[in-house]
């Protein structure tokens, strides 16, 4: 699968000891860079693909919709995202995140952005007429 929604594990002892909880995701690739993103409601981040790296996209706060398109001719796949939802997009998978509320995200990359040439390829993942 070229994109996916990752499910975390939880050590239940971290819940039962009364301090909260620890949820764990184990990426398939080494993370070489991570970025903190702020998204305003009604805006779009992305609308591109990455030729050289896999991107993990973890929502920390807020909600929105991630749209994936594996090929230019494929149907869009839509994932509702809110706190704790993490997606994974392999190289070449076009994606766009549409913020519904104010959103904070951590984007994690399997290769540093500045070492890629190019780091992104602009693509129109969204439906025609949508705000970009």
- Using CA atoms, how far apart are residues 124 and 46, in angstroms rounded to an integer? 9
The parent domain of residue 36 ranges over 3-122
Does any domain span residue 54? Answer: yes
Does any domain span residue 132? no
Cβ 57 vs Cβ 97: under 8 Å: yes
Q: Does the residue 49 lie in any domain?
A: yes
User: Does position 127 have pLDDT exceeding 80, yes or no?
Assistant: no
Query: Residue 2 pLDDT > 60, yes or no?
Result: yes
The answer to whether residue 131 sits within a structural domain is no
Assigned domain for 129 exists = no
Mean pLDDT for the stretch of residues 50-62: 98
Residue 23: its pLDDT value, please? 95
Tokens of 112: 């540093």
Backbone angles phi, psi at 10, to 5 degrees: -140, 125
Compute CA 123 distance to the chain's CA centroid, rounded to the nearest angstrom.
16
Number of domains comprising the chain = 1
Model confidence, pTM: 0.91
pLDDT surpassing 70 at residue 90: yes
Examine residue 61 and state whether it is found in any structural domain, yes or no.
yes
CATH number, domain with residue 49:
2.60.120.10
- Split at pLDDT 50, 70, 90, the class of 37 is very high
**Confidence band, pLDDT 50/70/90 cuts, at residue 72:** confident
What separation in angstroms does the CA of 44 have from each of 34, 75, 112? 19, 19, 22
Asked whether residue 128 is domain-assigned, the answer is: no
């Amino acid at each position: 699968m070229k994109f996916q929604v990752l499910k975390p594990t939880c050590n239940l002892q971290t819940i039962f000891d009364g301090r909260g909880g620890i949820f764990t995701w184990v990426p398939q690739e080494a993370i070489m860079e991570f970025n903190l993103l702020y998204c305003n409601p009604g805006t779009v981040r992305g609308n591109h693909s990455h030729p050289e790296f896999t991107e993990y996209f973890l929502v920390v706060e807020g909600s929105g919709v991630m749209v994936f398109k594996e090929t230019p001719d494929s149907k869009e796949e839509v994932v509702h995202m809110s706190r704790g939802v993490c997606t994974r997009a392999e190289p070449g998978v076009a994606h766009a995140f549409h913020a519904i509320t104010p959103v904070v995200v951590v984007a994690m990359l399997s290769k540093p952005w500045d070492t890629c040439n190019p780091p992104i390829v602009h693509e129109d993942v969204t439906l025609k007429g949508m705000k970009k």
